[in-house]
Amino acid sequence: MFIKRHLKKISILISLFLPLGNFFLFTPSVLAVPFISLEKEVSLGKGADQQIVQQYGIYQDKPMQLYVNSVGQKLVSNLSDKIFRHYFFKIVDSSEINAFALPGGYVYVTRGLMAMLNSEAELAGVLGHEIAHITLHHGAKLMVRSIGAQILSIGAAVANPENAGQWLLVSGAMFQQINLGYGREAELESDAQGMLTSTESGYHPVGIVNFLKNLRRQEVMTGQSYHSFQASHPDTKDRVIKAGLMSSSVQRKKSNFVHNREVYLSKIKGLVYGGKLQGKIDKNETPQYVDVYKVKPGDTFQSIAEKELDDRKKDLDISVLNGRRESSQPVPGELIKLIREGTYQGEKSIKLQIKSIQ
């Protein structure tokens, strides 16, 4: 009975995101993927995970990795149906602003995305979105649509990744397709499902809304798109509007949500900023890192930029980095992010070797 009520709740929330013509009710049959069992999805994810780690590298900060994993596992624990036994959450060493998921329970966020987020609620919204891609089998469905014939012809390679040559063909094609995005409806589904999952875990639904708004500012200012937005993706502005409507609906039903902004900022202090992009390092670029500053009475973004960064013109950079409008000003006592030059001198963590569970 609980599951039926839960599914009904999901369908109502999804209707806020999808046009009436595309509205549907989640049922077990909707989640079925022809030709690919759950075991094969796990095999697909596990094989491609090795390529992701090799291509990007794991960001070497154990406490931060454990923190992201703890938020992800909290979200998973509140799923009505986990689908898969294990879920893995990893920060990869890239300055691009991105997050993506592989079939079978593998979720990745870049350190560039971590630097852009401003609260644990925002992180939960992003992770919830990627978890939804997994539980709704978007990756597996994409595989069937794009290279279904290959899957049928080399099914043994999917079930048994030791066939290296054939396996690389499948997992490589899968990652290329996923990185291009799942399409408009799948992204909107995941926005809605991700918000539901994060709010069920106690996080404020406006977290994902704030993330999308800041993402929009980043796109306008830098031209850098999140999750390789293509023509098939919903425009970020459209996603902001739909997420805002859903957030308002959720807030009317419940009020005791958390943002955990200060917790989040304390966790990312010292995060490497810029530099490495998809495994490539610009040796001529000055090292930078994320620092956290406590606002003092009388501070403005202009005075902070001049006092802390020796450049008053960086006030806009600070406001955007912290998800603020140009006309806003910081509040005494709050924590804000700054980007400093140099290498963070705090405690260093041991080298990480994150392995999948067999």
Per-residue confidence in pLDDT tens, the chain, 358 aa: 434 444 444 343 433 343 333 323 333 333 346 667 888 888 888 888 888 898 899 999 999 999 999 999 999 999 988 999 999 999 999 998 889 999 999 999 999 999 999 999 999 999 999 999 999 998 888 777 766 545 544 554 554 545 555 555 566 666 666 766 777 788 888 888 888 899 999 999 888 888 888 887 777 766 655 554 443 455 667 777 777 777 777 777 777 789 999 999 999 999 999 986 654 555 667 899 999 999 999 999 999 999 999 999 999 999 989 998 878 899 999 999 999 999 998 765 445 555 544 4
The last residue of one of the domains, among 251, 275, 309, is 251
Indicate whether 63 and 186 sit together in one domain: yes
Residue 348 resides in a domain: no
Indicate whether 71 and 217 sit together in one domain: yes
Indicate whether 96 and 22 sit together in one domain: yes
Pairwise CA distance, residues 201 & 125, whole Å: 10
Residue 157 resides in a domain: yes
Residue 123 resides in a domain: yes
The last residue of one of the domains, among 251, 277, 309, is 251
Pairwise CA distance, residues 123 & 68, whole Å: 8
Residue 352: per-residue pLDDT: 52
Tell me the residue range of the domain where 181 lies: 2-251
Residue 319 resides in a domain: yes
Indicate whether 14 and 153 sit together in one domain: yes
Residue 51: per-residue pLDDT: 83
Of 228, 144, 138, 218, nearest to 186 (Cα)?
A: 138
Residues whose CB falls within 8 Å of the CB of residue 238, separated by 6 or more in sequence, listed in order: none
Residue 281 resides in a domain: no
Indicate whether 135 and 243 sit together in one domain: yes
Task: Write down the residue that tokens 């043994």 correspond to.
Answer: 156
The answer to whether the CB of 99 falls within 8 A of the CB of 91 is: no
β-bridge pairing 106-110 and 88-92: parallel
Indicate whether 83 and 6 sit together in one domain: yes
Residue 225: per-residue pLDDT: 57
Indicate whether 150 and 91 sit together in one domain: yes
Residue 341: per-residue pLDDT: 94
Q: What is the CATH number of the domain that holds 336?
A: 3.10.350
Q: What is the DSSP string of 139-153?
A: HHHHHHHHHHHHHHH
The answer to whether the CB of 181 falls within 8 A of the CB of 227 is: yes
Pairwise CA distance, residues 27 & 122, whole Å: 28
Number of domains forming the structure of the chain:
2
Show the tokens assigned to 164: 């290296």
Indicate whether 140 and 238 sit together in one domain: yes
Residue 130: per-residue pLDDT: 95
Indicate whether 236 and 320 sit together in one domain: no
Indicate whether 97 and 174 sit together in one domain: yes
Percentages (nearest 5) of helix, strand, coil residues in the chain: 55, 10, 35
Indicate whether 320 and 223 sit together in one domain: no
Residue 5: per-residue pLDDT: 44
Residue 257 resides in a domain: no
Indicate whether 179 and 47 sit together in one domain: yes
